[in-house]
Amino acid sequence: MVGPGGDSPLEQLVVKAQRAAALDLIDLLDEEDIAPIIVAAPALSHHSQENGAGASSWLPKRANVIRDDDPPGAPFHFGRRLADIVTRYGLDQVFYFGGASGPLLQGEMVRVLRRLLDMKRHSPVALTNNRHSSDWVGFTQAQSARGVLAEVDRDNSLAWLLEQEADYDVRVLAALHPSASMDIDTPTDLAVLALHPQTRPHLAGVLQSDIAAPLRRIPLAEVLDIAATSEKQLAIIGRVAPLAWQAFSKATRIWIRVFSEERGMVASGRAARGEARSLLGLMVDRGGPEAFFTDLASLADAAIIDSRVLMSHRGLWPGAAERFASDGFEVGAVQDEWLRAFTRAAVEAPIPVVLGGHGLVSGGLYALAEILAIRRKV
């Protein structure tokens, strides 16, 4: 599934990168003889005017896929859309991928996933990159699970609800190829992939083009340099995956301060119900963002922060344009007063700070660990 994207420059950059990653994924699945490949997205099989070109021009006609248009005018619901595809095409063993998931996925991993599903075809089994926030899920017995599928509001909750509501045996396969859990949701995810030498060709082309210039405002290269320097200290904050920060720690010779909170806040519905709470958020509330970053700078030489936990703590979830503007340090484009002040404080912090979403402190950490390991070998 590939979404439509938004109108701001950073939203457009992210959607172009997501479409490029989808093309890389299609090529990979085709190379591994996975079929049929069904691409579900808006306006794939007909044309509309978009800068004089068809809106579907990102998906070449020669692509070996079934184009399945989102119903025009109907509100999108992830689970009902997936259940409908499973029903209409008579699918029983399914690989679901968000169009931008798995930008670092390799053929060997796909072959392992396929073998495991074949072995377990008679049992309700799901394989995923993340139980609490799934970006891709391979699962058996899809016909029997259609009722549960139709209840899933977003793909992040798919693996979780298969386990909780349908008694699926959910297995997280991050250890087989950790960076396969990398996903593209934010500009910061793109900043990570722009530095990774194994980013696949369609996506690499977008990230090397002029439209990706705004990513250079994100001080990720500076943070990586600090991570590669012995005895430095790095703070990692947010929904930090334990195995991911351990992998990152093994790739460095630095001291790492980790504060992990509100993992699963989206999949469990806590964020939507306004129940997310953050100790770091309380610190920011009491002293203000400038004091928070001053205190943080006394403890660490750099910081990687999943800012969505702090937003949820505030009962705040602005649109993608504002979230991305915060990630990209475009302070003037952030309309919400609190988020603008927080973003400005991050830009002006005494240490380099990288802001992003859940992917930054899960699959992103695995990818950063690989970048550091590859650099040491060169």
Residue 54 has pLDDT above 50, yes or no: no
Residue 273 has what pLDDT?
93
Range with the poorest average pLDDT among 174-183, 299-308, 329-338: 174-183
CB 196 within 8 Å of CB 371: yes
Range with the poorest average pLDDT among 131-135, 196-200, 276-280: 131-135
Q: Tell me: do 62 and 158 sit in the same domain.
A: yes
CB 17 within 8 Å of CB 206: yes
Q: Tell me: do 135 and 225 sit in the same domain.
A: no
Residue 130 has pLDDT above 90, yes or no: no
Q: Tell me: do 154 and 226 sit in the same domain.
A: no
Range with the poorest average pLDDT among 12-26, 91-105, 174-188, 277-291: 174-188
Q: Tell me: do 232 and 367 sit in the same domain.
A: yes
Q: What is the mean pLDDT of residues 292-312?
A: 97
- Looking only at the bridges linking them, the beta strands covering 66-69 and 49-50 are unpaired
Instruction: Please indicate, yes or no, if residue 298 is contained in any of the structural domains.
Output: yes
Residue 176 has what pLDDT?
67
Q: Residue 150 has which token pair? A: 């139709």
Query: Nearest CA to 357 among 270, 288, 286, 265?
Result: 265
Q: pTM of the full predicted structure?
A: 0.89
Residue 378 has pLDDT above 80, yes or no: no
Cβ neighbors of 49 (< 8 A, separation 6 or more) are: 55
How sure is the predictor about 115, in pLDDT bands with cuts at 50, 70 and 90? very high
* 7 vs 180, higher pLDDT: 7
Residue 45 has pLDDT above 80, yes or no: no
Q: Tell me: do 302 and 163 sit in the same domain.
A: no
Please report the sign of the dihedral spanned by the C-alpha atoms of residue 178, residue 179, residue 185, residue 191. Answer: positive
Determine the Cα–Cα distance for residues 198 and 208; give it in Å rounded to an integer: 14
Instruction: Please indicate, yes or no, if residue 90 is contained in any of the structural domains.
Output: yes
Cβ neighbors of 152 (< 8 A, separation 6 or more) are: 78, 79, 82, 158, 161
CATH number reported for the structural domain that contains residue 92 in this entry: 3.90.550
The amino acid that residue 179 corresponds to is: S
Last residue of a domain, one of 127, 159, 178: 178
Instruction: Please indicate, yes or no, if residue 194 is contained in any of the structural domains.
Output: no
How sure is the predictor about 251, in pLDDT bands with cuts at 50, 70 and 90? very high
Q: Residue 209 has which token pair? A: 């083009």
Residue 62 has what pLDDT?
78
Residue 181 has what pLDDT?
80
pLDDT digits (tens, 9 = 90+) for 148-182: 999 999 998 999 999 999 999 999 886 667 777 88
Instruction: Please indicate, yes or no, if residue 65 is contained in any of the structural domains.
Output: yes
Determine the Cα–Cα distance for residues 57 and 128; give it in Å rounded to an integer: 30
Last residue of a domain, one of 116, 146, 178: 178
Q: Tell me: do 319 and 371 sit in the same domain.
A: yes
How sure is the predictor about 102, in pLDDT bands with cuts at 50, 70 and 90? confident
Instruction: Please indicate, yes or no, if residue 3 is contained in any of the structural domains.
Output: no
Instruction: Please indicate, yes or no, if residue 202 is contained in any of the structural domains.
Output: no
Please give the tally of structural domains in the chain.
Answer: 2
Determine the Cα–Cα distance for residues 192 and 183; give it in Å rounded to an integer: 10
* 65 vs 50, higher pLDDT: 65
Q: Tell me: do 138 and 249 sit in the same domain.
A: no
Q: Tell me: do 48 and 171 sit in the same domain.
A: yes
* Percentage of the chain modeled with pLDDT above 70: 95
Cβ neighbors of 136 (< 8 A, separation 6 or more) are: 95, 96, 97, 98, 101, 102, 128, 129
Find residue 235's DSSP bridge partners. 257, 303
Determine the Cα–Cα distance for residues 283 and 269; give it in Å rounded to an integer: 24
Q: Tell me: do 163 and 17 sit in the same domain.
A: yes
Residue 175 has what pLDDT?
65
Q: Residue 45 has which token pair? A: 């099989």
Residue 190 has pLDDT above 50, yes or no: yes
Q: Tell me: do 245 and 331 sit in the same domain.
A: yes
Burial label, 195 (beta-carbon count in 10 A; 0-12, 13-18, 19+): middle
Q: Residue 271 has which token pair? A: 């964020």
The amino acid that residue 352 corresponds to is: P
Residue 49 has what pLDDT?
39
Q: Tell me: do 135 and 277 sit in the same domain.
A: no
Q: Tell me: do 164 and 252 sit in the same domain.
A: no
Structural domain boundaries, residue 368: 218-377
Instruction: Please indicate, yes or no, if residue 209 is contained in any of the structural domains.
Output: no
Determine the Cα–Cα distance for residues 27 and 348; give it in Å rounded to an integer: 42
Residue 325 has what pLDDT?
97
Range with the poorest average pLDDT among 151-160, 262-271, 317-326: 262-271
Mean pLDDT of the chain: 91
Residue 329 has what pLDDT?
97
Residue 264 has pLDDT above 90, yes or no: no
Residue 79 has pLDDT above 80, yes or no: yes
Residue 55 has what pLDDT?
42
DSSP state of 319: -
Residue 85 has pLDDT above 50, yes or no: yes
Cβ neighbors of 361 (< 8 A, separation 6 or more) are: 236, 237, 238, 239, 240, 241, 244, 245, 304, 306
Q: What is the mean pLDDT of residues 181-197?
A: 94
DSSP state of 50: E
Residue 231 has pLDDT above 90, yes or no: yes
Q: What is the mean pLDDT of residues 7-20?
A: 94
Residue 73 has what pLDDT?
84
Range with the poorest average pLDDT among 166-175, 213-222, 296-305: 166-175
Determine the Cα–Cα distance for residues 211 and 224; give it in Å rounded to an integer: 23
Instruction: Please indicate, yes or no, if residue 200 is contained in any of the structural domains.
Output: no
Q: What is the mean pLDDT of residues 270-288?
A: 94
